[in-house]
Structure 1
Amino acid sequence: MDLIKLLDLDNFINEFYSFLARTKPLFIEGDINLHFKFINELKKYEFKAPNRVKNLDSEIIHIQKQGILRLEDIYEFVKIFRYFLYLKRLNFEGNLKKWLDEIDFPQDILEIVKYFDEKGNLLSSIDDRLLSLESSLKETKESIKHKLQGLLNSNKLQGYLVDRQIHYINEEEALLVRGGFNHVLKGTIVGRSSSGFFYVVPEALRKVKEKEAAILSQIEEVKLEWAKKISNIFLKWIKFIKYINKQFDRFDHYQARVNFSKSKNLFFILPKSDDKIVLKDFIHPAIHNPKPINVDFSKKILIITGVNAGGKTMLLKSILSAAFLSKYLIPMKLDAQKSHIGRFKEIIPIIEDPQNVKNDISTFAGRMLSFSHLFQKRDVLVGVDEIELGTDSDEAASLFKVILEDLLKRGIKVAITTHHKRLAALMANYDEVELVAAIYDEEKGAPTYEFLQGIIGKSYAFETAKRYGIPLYIVKKAIKEYGEDQAKLSELIERGSELERELRAKNEKLNKELERVEFLRKALEEERHSLFGELKMEKEKLSKIFQEAINEAKAAIKAKEVKEAHRLLTKAHKIAKEAKIKEKKVTEKINVGDSVKYRKNRGVVISLKDKEAYVDFEGIKMRVPLNELKKVTPIKKKKEAPKIKVSKPSKLSVKLDLHGLRVDEALEKVDKFISDSLIAGFDEVLIYHGVGSGKLASAVREFLKKHPKVKSFHDAPPNMGGFGATVVEL
């Protein structure tokens, strides 16, 4: 796809394609919201990816026409059947379980699955004729081998033999001999070596070879019968065949995306039903050691200006790439929670220079041709690199202003880059136009590859020329030719950019200060309410105490006896003495570094002075009374569980041969074999131990009984080793 190449996504998408079991278009047919749900569910599970499978559309048409499939093509269908049977055994939940439960395999199809081994060969055990013929074929091959060995050991032939090996030329056994061999050996020359020697099939093998050919022919006849039989069953169940083939492609889309995202730590983002684009920490996959891109393209037009080689084109490609990847549910590197990507019918890059010898068109004419197609479009995202390319910039500014105004009315979303400031200045007053500038570091004399929204950027053409080796006197002469007025305009633009950056930095600092003040305001408000509550309680308490004292004093005045009056006055004085506001005392010692609670806020003590503490409340520092603090246990951060990465064995097999091994060596190999099989995801394996004395078989089975991951085991079928082998279910 040209779009993928233009956006520098070709390597990334090719890497994604490698995760598919078979090549197919990126687009997933059906409801994108439903696909997104399935992908998110599948991310929670570990599962085996499917093996490579060929496209079977032509084979399905062949079945419908009552044709006979080749056994190798039938096995491609069997691979699909087996994979879905494997998926149905997994403990999926939710939508995945419901979907897989709906796939009901006919018994005829389940029988066909048993006809093939893991390599795609038709099992001899399904037909007695095949068993007999393969046994005869084995004997014939042994006969050929013995005859050749006899010739190799012949004294007459020793002087003509180049080596003592049996060579396979065009699938025939041959001897390599020197010239003159015909005096001692009759045979047919089937080839010449690079040294001029002859590959000869001896005449003595002719009858045996004819027998071998006859057996092979009979085997092919039997296999053809089975191919016809299976093809007829497929025709009977053609609706199921077409359905399962389509469902395999659907799951293949899901698993490839999930496994691709896991392999590169990528994230999915579902396109929303609008045209808003907000990217947070987006990284274009073609960039090495990138700076994450943050851009808000909520408006209809985005104009990117600024320093040469400052990343303007890559910002443009990143916006289009994010929209493209989201459209096809391809995972990407970004903050998916804080990003937002709209949905577009089409993504149109106008990036390359269209001028070349083949199309006989100028750069500007090619650009006009590209723009002319936009007036018939709706709901599209357009990216234009260097919009004034190929013509006078002042004329182009006026022309493209009018074009952009019209596209704005049509609802087309456009992002453009430009080195010229006039177009940006002409469009800056529109509410639906957003300006972005690539930032230049004056001190380092280099672009920062960062962007600032809301300003027009200077191109820094002269500075870039100096940086890339243009002689200084040439640059100075160019500046003089450029003119003082133009230079001052560029300086004003850059000064405006600097002021904007300074203003944004000050705003950020002010916002932090406002957050701190708001925190203090809330804390003071809480303290005020608390103090008012305490004062009210103390007031009520004092009022009660003084009332008691007054009552006692009155009683003393009324008392007739002097002794009783003195006693009552003493009691009133004692009650009055108790009427003091008790200060809160610190019940526990608080030290620097302690975690404390003040009202509803938690913090850490930085320093202590007299009866006050200086406390850090998550970045906001303030002084509070010691008696208002309560010592608390610090909140422990949850430690992430250690992740154990287990690498898959480099060589995987479902069979283990223990012939010729001692018991201890054999058990060691069995232990490793089962571990490797579990890692690989095998659920059934085969162990060959032979019959012999039965000691090795007994030891192996005793080991399997005690292994926690072995579900069961039993003797292998006769065609797979019988009593000399054990089938193990994991």
Structure 2
Amino acid sequence: MDLAKSLDLTQFLDEFNSFLAREKPLFMEGDINLHYKFIKELENYSFNPPPKVKNLDTQIVHLKKQGILGLDEIFEFVKIIRYFLYLKKLRFEGMVKEWIDQIEIPQSIKDIEDYFDKNGKIKDDVDERLQSLARALKDNKDSIRQKLRSLLNSSKLQNYLVDRQIHYLSGEEALLVRGGFNHVLKASIVGRSSSGFFYVVPEVLRELKDKEAGILSRMEEIFYEYSKNISSIFLKNIKFLAFVNRAFDRFDHYQARIAFAKAKNLDMIVPKNDDKIILKDFVHPAISNPKPVSVDFSKKVLIITGVNAGGKTMLLKSILSAAFLAKYLIPFKLDARKSHIGRFKEIIPIIEDPQNVKNDISTFAGRMLAFSKLFSKSNVLVGVDEIELGTDSDEAASLFKVILEELMKRDIKIAVTTHHKRLAALMASHDEVELVAALYDEKKSEPTYTFLQGIIGKSYAFETAKRYGIPINIVKRAIEEYGEDQAKLSELIERGSELERELRARQKELESEHEQVRRLRSLLEDERHSLFMEIKSEKERLQKSFTEAIEEAKKAIKAKETKEAHKFLNIAHKKAKSVKIKEKEPIEPLKAGDSVRYRKNLGTIISIKGKEAFIECDGMRLRVPLNELKRARVPQKKKKESVVKVSRPKKLGMTLDLHGLRAEEAIEKTDKFISDALIAGFDEVLIYHGIGSGKLARAIREFLKNHPKVKSYTDAPPHMGGHGATIVEL
């Protein structure tokens, strides 16, 4: 594949192909997201890899034309059937099980599978004729060996024998002899050794050899008979064979990716439905001892500048390679969780020098030809190495600026490398253009093979020349010719790069600290929640215990009318009310206006910026670390509260007798009785009103119905007055 060759992926893909049971295109038909889900589910299981199988498309076409397959071709189908029979025995679940269960193998095909041994030979016990011929063949071979042994022991032949072994040459048993053997032995020469000796088959074996050939011929006739019958059965099941052949390729795609990823410790990433490319710790497979690459290519155009031989071309190839490998779900080295790769219809590298004497085309003309083809495409990822190659860089910068702006409108994503800064400077202000610079180590005077996003990089041409052996005096003269102003411009560019690097390093440090604080806060939240749930559980347990005690006490009162029972009832009720566990309030973050303590001083927060706060202490404003402040509780002046003292009634009982009273008098006494009971803390009292005409009972209950402190009322039990008394719950 030309694209793989341009991206230096040929060897990597050859390694991947070695995990396939048979060679096939990388592309998998169907929904790539479904393939990815299937692979992720399948990698949870252990299974044997499929056997190596030949491509059977030609054989399927041959069968459709009623052709007869050879036994070796039939056995290739048998290997596929056997593998699926093996998979059906495994305990798969989910979508894998569902898919395997859909492959129903006809019984006639299963019967054919049983004809063959593991080496693809028809088993002797399948046919009695084959068994008989196999025995005859064995006996004949034994006879040949006996004849040869007798010749080896012959005294006439001893002087001509080179060794006393039986050699196999072209499928025949032979002896190794010296020249002149024909005086003592009639034989046919079947070969010569490197030492000039002769491999011969004695004439005395000819009859046995003819017999062996006859046996083999009869066996071949039987084998052909089986080939014909099996081909006929295959023709009847041709749709199944075509289906299972495709299914085998599909499973082969999956298992190869899983095995390759495990063997090489690689990750797989499924492309998303956009054109963003964000790589985190990507490693191009063609580089030995590489530095992982991280780059954010979310915009339409990425311009890579910077030091010569600093890895610009490899960064370009890395971006295209990641998109290519993700497109075909090939595992590769990167942080899959933090990476993001879009989906592209086509990936086009414009990397090689297009100059070709045969076609009479120059470098620049070839580049223009390549770019002209892009205007008819969409949803394409393009990589261009040395974009101004082959022409004046200033002219090319203006030309390519317009070309790139036009291509951006056509849904084309482009990454380019350049040694010249003019194109990068012209396009730096564009919202859809991202800049990346290859970095240079000034102290070590060598590239770092790392990249910084957001700046234009210096090329370091003079430093590179010195590093590769150009005499220093020549380099100095070149610097003088370059000019002081241009040198200062390069210094400013590099200083900008250095400041950007420092800013990125500081940002990374702050992000690390922020992550640590976030983790600590999460731990504290978990601990607070755990403590809250523990307290809540304990509170519920205690409240349940006291509620049960109150219920038991109420039963006791209803069962027996004694003042002692009422006394215990009220004690239990008071205890239940007193069991209130204060829940821990969540710690609120400090904010402007809060009173705080800083060391030994009290102050007020004026404002907060990041991890620092401005506070006012004793008329002075201080900027202090936020984590050194503690919330201060300012004592508030207590307001005088009006106190109403209610005297406890001297005579207090839990029953009221209203017999003989008129309704008005009874209601007045009931009102005072309830008030006294509430002051005393009773929660249940008993009122005797008698049965009589029922007028007094109705008046009392109407009053109780509208009293705000009465929860409920009901007839007393028979032993406490029945319908002539009312129990009131307060």
Q: Using structure 1 for the length normalisation, give the TM-score.
A: 0.71
1:158 aligns with 2:158: yes
**1:428 corresponds to:** 428
Distance 1:358 1:62, change over 3 A: same
Distance 1:509 1:155, change over 3 A: closer
Q: Distance in 1 between matches of 2:194 and 2:516?
A: 87
**2:292 corresponds to:** 292
Q: Distance in 1 between matches of 2:506 and 2:126?
A: 82
Distance 1:149 1:430, change over 3 A: same
Distance 1:172 1:508, change over 3 A: closer
Post-superposition offset of 1:84? 0.5
The 5-angstrom pairing of residues 527-606 of structure 1 reads: none
**2:91 corresponds to:** 91
The amino acid across from 2:486 in the alignment is Q
**1:336 corresponds to:** 336
In structure 1, list runs of 5 or more residues that go unmatched.
Answer: 526-597, 602-608, 611-619, 629-730
Q: Distance in 2 between matches of 1:282 and 1:452?
A: 15
Distance 1:219 1:513, change over 3 A: closer
Post-superposition offset of 1:288? 1.6
**1:648 corresponds to:** none
Q: Distance in 1 between matches of 2:258 and 2:39?
A: 7
Post-superposition offset of 1:183? 2.0
**2:12 corresponds to:** 12
Post-superposition offset of 1:513? 7.3
Cα displacement string for residues 241-263 of structure 1 (whole angstroms, at most 9, x for unaligned residues): 10000100000000000110111
The 5-angstrom pairing of residues 173-212 of structure 1 reads: 173-212=173-212
Distance 1:133 1:521, change over 3 A: closer
Post-superposition offset of 1:175? 1.7
Q: Distance in 1 between matches of 2:289 and 2:213?
A: 63
The amino acid across from 1:58 in the alignment is T
Post-superposition offset of 1:517? 9.6
Q: Distance in 1 between matches of 2:523 and 2:240?
A: 69
The amino acid across from 1:103 in the alignment is I
Other structure's SS at 2:361 match: coil
Distance 1:187 1:420, change over 3 A: same
**1:558 corresponds to:** none
The amino acid across from 2:159 in the alignment is G
Post-superposition offset of 1:197? 2.5
Distance 1:600 1:132, change over 3 A: farther
The 5-angstrom pairing of residues 402-417 of structure 1 reads: 402-417=402-417
Distance 1:490 1:176, change over 3 A: same
The amino acid across from 2:426 in the alignment is L
Q: Distance in 1 between matches of 2:499 and 2:236?
A: 77
**1:228 corresponds to:** 228
In structure 2, list runs of 5 or more residues that go unmatched.
Answer: 526-585, 590-598, 601-624, 634-730
**1:142 corresponds to:** 142
Q: Using structure 2 for the length normalisation, give the TM-score.
A: 0.71
Other structure's SS at 1:443 match: coil
Q: Distance in 1 between matches of 2:110 and 2:516?
A: 70
Q: Distance in 1 between matches of 2:434 and 2:173?
A: 77
Distance 1:521 1:140, change over 3 A: closer
The 5-angstrom pairing of residues 221-620 of structure 1 reads: 221-508=221-508
| Aligned residues with identical type, % of pairs | 72
The 5-angstrom pairing of residues 552-701 of structure 1 reads: 622=627
Post-superposition offset of 1:366? 1.1
Post-superposition offset of 1:444? 1.7
Distance 1:412 1:162, change over 3 A: same
Cα displacement string for residues 420-472 of structure 1 (whole angstroms, at most 9, x for unaligned residues): 00000011111000011111121221111111111100000001111122111
Cα displacement string for residues 207-264 of structure 1 (whole angstroms, at most 9, x for unaligned residues): 1111111000001111111111111110111010100001000000000001101111
Cα displacement string for residues 654-673 of structure 1 (whole angstroms, at most 9, x for unaligned residues): xxxxxxxxxxxxxxxxxxxx
Cα displacement string for residues 371-418 of structure 1 (whole angstroms, at most 9, x for unaligned residues): 111111110000000101111111111111111111011121000000
Q: Distance in 1 between matches of 2:88 and 2:360?
A: 59
**1:64 corresponds to:** 64
Q: Distance in 1 between matches of 2:135 and 2:522?
A: 92
Post-superposition offset of 1:621? 10
**2:546 corresponds to:** none
Post-superposition offset of 1:356? 3.5
Q: CA RMSD in A?
A: 2.8
Q: Distance in 2 between matches of 1:5 and 1:513?
A: 44
Post-superposition offset of 1:359? 3.2
The amino acid across from 1:483 in the alignment is G
**1:115 corresponds to:** 115
Task: Name the stretch that deviates more: 47-56 or 165-174.
Answer: 165-174
Distance 1:124 1:475, change over 3 A: same
Post-superposition offset of 1:419? 0.4
Post-superposition offset of 1:516? 9.0
Distance 1:457 1:125, change over 3 A: same
Q: Distance in 2 between matches of 1:524 and 1:182?
A: 102
Q: Distance in 1 between matches of 2:427 and 2:271?
A: 28
Other structure's SS at 1:104 match: coil
The amino acid across from 2:281 in the alignment is D
The amino acid across from 2:214 in the alignment is A
Q: Distance in 2 between matches of 1:334 and 1:523?
A: 30
Q: Distance in 2 between matches of 1:490 and 1:146?
A: 93
The amino acid across from 2:263 in the alignment is S
Cα displacement string for residues 583-606 of structure 1 (whole angstroms, at most 9, x for unaligned residues): xxxxxxxxxxxxxxx9699xxxxx
Cα displacement string for residues 506-555 of structure 1 (whole angstroms, at most 9, x for unaligned residues): 44556677889999999999xxxxxxxxxxxxxxxxxxxxxxxxxxxxxx
Number of aligned residue pairs: give it. 541
Computing the radius of gyration from Cα coordinates, the structure with the larger value is 2
Q: Distance in 1 between matches of 2:435 and 2:181?
A: 88
Q: Distance in 1 between matches of 2:189 and 2:518?
A: 99
Task: Name the stretch that deviates more: 82-91 or 444-453.
Answer: 444-453
1:52 aligns with 2:46: no
Q: Distance in 2 between matches of 1:366 and 1:161?
A: 73
Q: Distance in 1 between matches of 2:366 and 2:235?
A: 54
Q: Distance in 2 between matches of 1:152 and 1:123?
A: 35
Q: Distance in 1 between matches of 2:363 and 2:273?
A: 36
The amino acid across from 1:416 in the alignment is V
The amino acid across from 1:286 in the alignment is A
Distance 1:514 1:165, change over 3 A: closer
Other structure's SS at 1:416 match: strand
Distance 1:519 1:16, change over 3 A: closer
**1:555 corresponds to:** none
Cα displacement string for residues 458-499 of structure 1 (whole angstroms, at most 9, x for unaligned residues): 000001111122111111011011111221221121122122
1:81 aligns with 2:68: no
Other structure's SS at 2:208 match: helix
Task: Name the stretch that deviates more: 28-37 or 167-176.
Answer: 167-176
Post-superposition offset of 1:284? 0.9
Cα displacement string for residues 54-101 of structure 1 (whole angstroms, at most 9, x for unaligned residues): 000111111111111111111110000000111111111111000000
